[in-house]
Each structure stands twice: as structure tokens, then as C-alpha cells.
Amino acid sequence: MAKLLMGIKLGMTQLFAEDGKVIPVTVVASGNNVVIKNKNIESDGYYAVQLGFGEIKEKNVTKPMQGHFKKSEVKPVKFIRELRLAGESEYKIGDVLGVDIFEAGEVIDVVGTSKGKGFAGGIKRHNFARGPMGHGSKSHREPGSTGAMLSGPGGRVLKGKKLPGRMGGTRTTVQHLRVVRVDADRQLLLIKGAIPGPKKGLVLIKNTIKPIREKQAATERTHSAAKKTSKR
């Protein structure tokens, strides 16, 4: 069953496991998500479920969107997102989803908009190495020559070349995060590790599309134990 939930990133804190280890977690406030529409091949060309989240005043909703909500017989919401499905949706229009659709220990993917960094150079944006810092050098953090191209007069720069430019502010997905705790009373999800976006940013939580293979997980645990032993 496909699981989809929107929420607001509140920030990070830490929990203590039963063995005393500290677990860094991100707290996400979800609240109630409502199913607005189910899309199918016949009418839309693909399968998807449309979900709404967040309160908004009706006067701030455009007339086309008012008609959309009225058709589904749901209250207006601030955010709307879709999740593509392989087949027919198991949800019904008007269904309200909470954090209890997830369980502690479940592996999830989190989608958000990364923090915008503005215009950044190659060193910060692509982790380039700087040039020599001696006084004779006149190129410390500049990208340097982009290389002459033989196609066309004066050369050209190939698309996709790593250069200074706008950094951050893009849709980012962090995969294979684990739910540490589900607080159904306060509608909170505590997720192990960091998730994209600033505080009070909107995030999309869904069950992972790339399950961790048991063999791969066992190999990772073996490598981790070997590294700890070598350090000792």
C-alpha cells in the first residue's frame, strides 16, 4: 500500500536508545492530510492520489481551486501534492490520513526543497580544490580555463559542465531514512537523521521505493564493525 504524508519540519533533537546510544532525529509535525482526488488512466492518463494539507482561509483560495475542492466536497487546504501509483488508489476521496499510517522502524523517503545558498563558486558548489596560495599565483578560487573546444569558432562550453552558479533551493529527496517514533497524540513523526529544507519548510514523507536488501544491509554492518575494530 502506498503511503504519503505531508508535514512541517520543526527542527532536530536527539533520543536515547535502550542501549544508551544517542539517536539524532528530525521532528516533523504532520496533522491531518485529506485525500482530494484519485487519478486513473481513463481520465488522466496515469494513476495517482492527490493529497491536501494545511489550513487556509477560503477568501485566499482562487475560484478555480474553490471549484476543485467543492467537487471533492473537502475543505480548502494550503498545500496539494500528488503521489504516482502503479495501479488504482486504495484511498477514497475525503479520507483523512495521520502519522499513524507509519510505524516505528519503517524505512521511508523524505522529499523537500533544499536551503537556498545563492550564487556560489566552484569550491563551495562542487567541492573543487583551490589553487596555490602563494603570492605569485593570481588564481586562488577561480574556476580557471574551461578548455578550448574544436566545434565552432571561439570554442564553447559543454552543457552540464560544473561551474559557479545558483546553489540550493531545489527539490531534494533523501532515501532510506528510518522512523524512530510515532506520536499520534501530537501528530509528530521523529525521523532518524537530517531531512532537506529549513525549519517550517514543507516536506513530503512516503514509503521508500528502493527497499534495502537484507544482504546489502548485512554487508554494511560488517564493514562498519571492521572499521571500528581497525581504529582500536
What is the structure's pLDDT at 181? 93
Q: Can you tell me the distance from the alpha carbon of 189 to that of 173, in angstroms, rounded to the nearest whole number? A: 17
In a domain, 226, yes or no: yes
Q: Can you tell me the distance from the alpha carbon of 224 to that of 86, in angstroms, rounded to the nearest whole number? A: 36
In a domain, 220, yes or no: yes
What is the structure's pLDDT at 153? 62
In a domain, 54, yes or no: yes
Phi, psi at residue 220, to the nearest 5°?
-65, -40
What is the structure's pLDDT at 210? 81
Q: Can you tell me the distance from the alpha carbon of 7 to that of 78, in angstroms, rounded to the nearest whole number? A: 12
Query: How much is the pTM?
Result: 0.79
In a domain, 51, yes or no: yes
What is the structure's pLDDT at 3? 87
Instruction: Identify the domain containing residue 111 by its residue range.
Output: 4-116+170-231
User: Could you tell me the CATH number of the domain that includes residue 10?
Assistant: 2.40.30.10
What is the structure's pLDDT at 228? 59
What is the structure's pLDDT at 214? 59
What is the structure's pLDDT at 226? 60
Domains identified in the chain, total number: 1
What is the structure's pLDDT at 205? 93
Beta bridge partners of 78: none
In a domain, 160, yes or no: no
In a domain, 200, yes or no: yes
In a domain, 164, yes or no: no
What is the structure's pLDDT at 89? 85
Secondary structure in 3-state letters for 119-170:
EECHHHHHCCCCCCCCCCCCCCCCCCCCCCCCCCCCCCCCCCCCCCEEECCC
In a domain, 99, yes or no: yes
What is the structure's pLDDT at 1? 74
| Averaged pLDDT, groups of 10, the chain, 232 residues long | 90 91 94 90 91 91 92 91 88 90 92 94 93 84 74 70 92 93 93 94 90 62 61 57
